[in-house]
Structure 1
Amino acid sequence: MGPKKGSASNARVTRNGQASTSKASSRGGISKRQGARPLKVDRDGDLNMDASAAGSASRSQPKRSNNNATSSSAPIRTSSRNPRPTAKTQQIIQRVINGDPSQISAHRAGRRTDVAPPVILRVQGLKDSKAASNEGGGLKELLTFLERKSQTVGHTARPVRIKKSQINGDFVYITASKEDAQEILKVNNFYFAGATLQITEVPEGLPNRDSTPLSSTALEMKEQLRNVLSTRYDVNAKLLNLSTLGEDPTLNQMGFFRGEATPEKMFKALMAICEGLFKTPQAKRDAVVSISLAGNNINDVSQILSLTDTFPDIVNLDLSRNQFKDLKALQKWRHRLRSLQTLLLNDNPIEVANPNYKAEMVTWFPKLLNLSGIQVRTPEQVAATAAASRPTPIPQGGPDFRDINRVGEGFITEFLPLYDTDRQNLAAKYYDEQSTFSIAVNTHSPHEAGVPLPTWGDYIKFSRNHMKRNHAPARQQRLFTGASQIQALWNQLPPTQHPNLAAQFDKYIIDCHPIHGLADPAGQSPLGVDGMIMTVHGEFDDQELGTTKTTKRSFSRTFVLGPGAPGRNPIRVVSDMLSLKAFKNVPSPATTQATTVNDQQKQQMLLELSKQTGMTPEYSQFCLDGANWNFEQALASFHEKRAQIPPQAFVAAA
């Protein structure tokens, strides 16, 4: 763990600001100290959180330790290198890290039900790659490649993270969140170290691990690690004190500091045992609120990354008296520990190398209140920021139906039954070579209680949701232009059954507005012709392709209608946008008080309005704000007031 011997990182900065070098700093990571100074213990015989702060009886309380966190500048010295543990010892450590399958299953059974479960992916190709001959079989290189490449391909602003991994035969099984798994699947068929990767989702989960019982030696080692944890846990303070692990006599006796990287393996083993001590994540959150890792010679959080997997919700963390010298050493925790309120980084080189690091750290942890003894936020500021990030309800006045000569009524009355029974003739009648059609799937919309969440396999590959498809080629491929393309796509979508519009009108909300300035298909009016925009909110049942399974879904469908070309149907569909989501009853106009538009929906509406009107995003947002983020009303308002809009409201190409 940390820089190797002889690297440029061997220089250390002491509290008085002077640089010093020592053999101890030649290796980063958790290390032991030498010297005759005895270990500090509290009245119960446990190690103090800050063993170097003499007389500090309150060190076990993390929030009261802010003023004491810098009380010691004693350097951490490593022992001279002893022979590496035997291969058998390494195997025993690895089995302790893996843990008992029964305990892992028990933990999984207690997952929170309000978050999406992780996704298991199977990766084939590592064994055939040049990286297979590397130390560790090339697994580390593969995981780094997948995280980096999936973030690049998907153009995601956030990092893509693989939570867990294991090699089983010719495959590598990885665990990631649902969102990250979708990005990793985009790397399927990419080349890695001369081999083609095949990445598939594994709905049945991980294959069964070897259930052979641990040997007596492994069981003894596991029990020793449990004892180390028990002596370092303060039940009253809910504190897990893992400071100065290099001075722990039990860990030294077990030989964890005799070879390269064994301290990191030891830390993983401790976290694996912690994982098995709690039946549910809530039990873990209730038991461990604070953790101290002070005085462990850690120079990069990648060495202790398993901490954030095991204790993602800790509130207080002490990293003082380590070797963090810059923000890069802390970067991998940027999107983790979202509940952290107190973080101590006193007596780390970063304090001298980058005095302004606090400003960046505040942006990484949204609930951080105390950073190295300095208040950086108040609880009221945290609450206000959280409230501002939640979508607020906006009033909905019900349907606004302004039809012209009952054209809209006649169109929708014919459209819905034909879409259910005769899509080919429907497309031929109302769509021409310039008509466009697109689908947007919203997998995170509110849904009706008691109704199972639907699957989206028959739709998701065609989805043009701008929050998910965030680069131009993917969006363009999912915009279908011309009656023939639209017919071909409709043939690939599941058959549907909409409620009868005349008999069950309460299952729909329909808005209709006149618009102006549509392109004249006859080419006689350079200023454009009149048309209308119609939006239908409702529901339908569809049948999964290849099966008899039916699913109820909600939909919103927005049509832009205009006059047809000479010799064709008098009405043509200029644009058809279908939005799908989980089923939820449409609100009654008489009882509806509010509807919610979240940030994702706002961004999609903003992009679509800019595309259809040619306005800049700034003026498109003005238009949507004025319409209370009702897309149809904003588009209708644009066409009604087109002549009054200033030229600077449009992009240069317009």
Structure 2
Amino acid sequence: MSYRGRGRGGGYNNNYQNRNTFGHQQQNVDAFVAANAYPIEIVGWNGASSSDCISFISRKCRIVVSNYSVDQNTGVLKGYVRNESQANELLNWSGVKFAGQSLRFSKGPSSISNQMGGSAAGAGSTIETITNFLKGRYQPDIKMLNLSGVKQDANLNAQGFFASVSVTSKFFPALMKIASDLKLDVESVDLSNNELSDLQAISSMTQTFPKLKNLSLQGNNLSRTKVFETWKYKLNFLRELILFNNPIVQTTNPTEIQDIKLELMRYFPRLVVLNGEVLRNEPALEANTTSPFGSQALFFQDEDTKNLATNFVTNYLNLWDTNRANLMVLYQNESQFSMQLDTSHPHLIADGNSSSNIDFGNYMPNSRNLTRISSGKARMSKVAVGAEQIYKSFQQLPKTKHNLVEDPTSFSMECYKYAPLNGIVISVHGSFEEAAQPEVSDNSTSQSSRGGRFHSQSRNKKPNLCKKSFDRTFIVLPGPNGSMVVASDLLLIRPFTIDIPWTNSHPPTQPSSQSPSTATSVSGQQQTPNVLQGANPLTAPGAAQLAPAPAPAPPPVAELPPEIKSNLQVPQQELLVKIVMETKLNLQYALMLCEQSQWDYNQSLTNFKNSASSLPREAFL
């Protein structure tokens, strides 16, 4: 009978085991210290104690700050996190409220040294060496940064930057970090003769110089176009690319050469010149890439938001159709997504569709239509928070095809700045084709009907796939290193309509050239123009209510209520009736519209178009 293992000692040689345990514990301590050696600094914490602040960061940001202390001279709270990724994540939390104040996070002064694997004491010389190198290689007159043959630079070699593979791999990210801090205005970069076989080591360049126009990779070891996958959808302004003396362009097969050109043009949407050869018509390309939505009327607050929003939406819809998993880099822990279904809007059947083909079964389980859901718990359960939940929601929606390239005029967009969060709001309207059933099905509807008379017949039935119209609103915030973060994503699905209000095929009715006082019909026989054709009838509650049946005729001037007539002059009374006829607003709201528009006919119509979608149903006849 063996007694080995009985009792807490587990047998003999306890002293040896204790020594072994102590050795392992010491190794664990050393490993922990090494793994938590990326410095960060925190200001704005003084509303409470430093320990309370560190605990708050752990709970709120899910990041542990270790070995923290307070600088008695500056009052800055200093500590360490595991790696640069956690430090970057904390930077995104700058502004979070703690004890009545806003916390501000920044990387510690020895961050560059840590990236290079050096000590804090060598941080100053490391930063100074790289800074001097950048200043010597930068040509501000032509906005060019010459990074050719970096490994042959005598000063960098003297500092040991290329002494080992691990240190060499960290050099370029550190170089880009300092270049970003120097705020160099760069349009061209020369990376020739750097022995590059892929772009992983220099991937951070797209964040430092996102608007780069000219790039030379001459004399490297790039052998496949697949290496550019790292930069896909990131260098959206790249105009010229030089790849001479790389294996990738040393083929003589015309088919392979053409495939390489097409692949590179897909990676870089504004690429015009490759190795000195013009690939496509630049003016036409600029017109298409500047406004991928065609020539229809759009709204952008300024040129910067226009460029940012059009690039964002174009790339987003492409990935939404092809690979939604790649979109998850845009969503963070507090990002929100919700989808709502609105079947109440009128729609026109087209393209051989019939009303029986319109099926919303794939959307009904997750719809957060607040006019249909009154329970607070149910409302909250249909909001996806964080990248994991959002991706799950994406998988439960049908696969789609947005014909943005083939039919850009069927889409419209508005974009304006959102000052409270230093972001922008992007609203997109259009239609899509359902290409396939969802990757993940939601069984809630079938489970709720389990046991019903027809359950066995219908539980495996797939909803019909057909065209749908949509409205989607993003709140987009700036992320670290020039990236973008989607804070809020609202998707509205509605029946497909062939009526596209923002195109010339359905022009708005022009107002009469006569003055309001002479153009008003008092007999009620004048045909009412549909001014909503100039806006989007699918977003106006009044249009949805009035579509099934003609609206009641508005009263002529003689029949206006006495309390209204007594306060208005005759031209104002006539204008009020005209506005009622054209907008189908009731008297109360039509009167408010006229007053707020200073009794100007054209201004009244403009204000109505801008606010029609936000008016309640009771505002209309």
Task: Please give the TM-score of this superposition, normalised by the length of structure 2.
Answer: 0.38
Higher helix share: 2
Q: Which has the higher contact order (CA 8 A, sep 6+)?
A: 1
